[in-house]
Amino acid sequence: MKNLIFCLVLMCGAVAHADVNIMTVTDEDRHTKKEDFYHTFEYHILPLGRGNSAAKCQATRIGRRWFATAAHCVERCAAGGCRIQMDLLDEPVSVLAQVDSTPKRPAVFVHPKYDKNVTARDDFALIRLDLNKAPLVYYKRVNRTGLVGISAQQFQTYLRTHRTAAAKLRRVMSGDLPPIVAFDDDTYLIDRKLSVISIFDGVRDIKQNPYKAYYVKDLGFAYTKNFGIRKGMSGSGVMTNTGELIGVVSADLVWQRYSPAQGKTEEKDFFLFLAFNKSVRAFMESVMGSDYYKLDFKDAYPQFIKHGVRGNHSLIRQGVRDVRNKNKKK
């Protein structure tokens, strides 16, 4: 996850208020346990032909052969080529499904409008990886971070003696995938509980959001107060408590301002996530072809929307402008 730190000065005068709609909860709470995030994975990004793993990020499986992730994770990979290794199990013994991406035979696709200087807008990428056809690499974890290769036979033996691991792998390989919330060009207060899973070296931890979350149309992304999202979680799926994939982890935006009255620096920490708006869905359609029409979308509007609520997003807008201006000066 990118860290964006800026100093913010609030402008005097009237603040414009945007019309905000409410996405209502109509189902029981679920998708808050580790087991519910079987479609989200940690993956390794390796340069082709040299060196070891250069980076790790996370991705959510959205189709039989498609994974959603953050563009800033794989921007260099898409341009110059790389190997993606998707880690399928959070077990002492696991398996990596891998695919090579090159400029001539791409498997990684970055949103064409993605600009690293414009925070989370269009920070979206797709990885084409068919788990049923991909080459597999089997390994066991040593001292948590070390990996030692094992044979396919050793892996199958592990599955026979560890039924829980075998059940996890069957679910991973299944076509049971989450619906996706599709946003239109409006501003919403998302009235759902949100969760994100962090995966580090096979250790999974659920982060649940206790704050209000908004999608702001002119910014092109959604945000909330940070609830424990940190570096290394980029690309992870943002899930609702009713089981929908509502976004992709993008960035951490920190506002710092000295308060003379309190004699100390005030800090506000925002978590930004990419939403499946029209721009993102058009890109998905162009890349995925007929696979796009097999996805299960749920419209944010009008199915789950109520009108009449007003919101103030001036602080996050000012933060985005400050980051953009700061990046232009570099």
Q: Is the pLDDT of residue 185 over 80?
A: no
Tell me the pTM. Answer: 0.87
Q: What average pLDDT does the structure give for the chain?
A: 83
Contact call for residues 34 and 195 (beta carbons, < 8 A): no
Q: Is the pLDDT of residue 100 over 90?
A: yes
Query: What number is the average pLDDT over the span 153-173?
Result: 94
Contact call for residues 239 and 194 (beta carbons, < 8 A): yes
Alpha helices in 103-207 (DSSP H): 152-161, 163-173
| Angle at 135 (CA atoms; ends 129, 136), nearest 5 degrees | 105
Domains of the chain by start residue, with CATH: 2-329 (2.40.10.120)
Sorted by sequence, the CB contacts under 8 Å of residue 185 that are 6+ apart come out as 217, 277, 278
Contact call for residues 300 and 182 (beta carbons, < 8 A): yes
Query: What number is the average pLDDT over the span 89-113?
Result: 94
pLDDT band at 330, cuts 50/70/90? Answer: low
The larger pLDDT score, comparing residue 142 to residue 290, is at: 290
Contact call for residues 253 and 246 (beta carbons, < 8 A): no
pLDDT band at 285, cuts 50/70/90? Answer: very high
pLDDT tens, position by position, 312-321: 788 888 878 8
Sorted by sequence, the CB contacts under 8 Å of residue 59 that are 6+ apart come out as 40, 41, 43, 67, 68, 69, 86, 127, 235, 236
Q: Is the pLDDT of residue 83 over 80?
A: yes
Nearest to 268 by CA among 1, 4, 61: 4
Q: Is the pLDDT of residue 216 over 60?
A: yes
Rounded Cα–Cα distance for residues 222 and 264 (Å)? 29
Residue type, 310: R
pLDDT band at 131, cuts 50/70/90? Answer: very high
Rounded Cα–Cα distance for residues 247 and 62 (Å)? 12
pLDDT tens, position by position, 247-267: 999 998 887 777 777 788 877
Sorted by sequence, the CB contacts under 8 Å of residue 157 that are 6+ apart come out as none
pLDDT tens, position by position, 204-213: 888 989 898 9
Q: Is the pLDDT of residue 19 over 50?
A: no
Q: Is the pLDDT of residue 20 over 90?
A: no
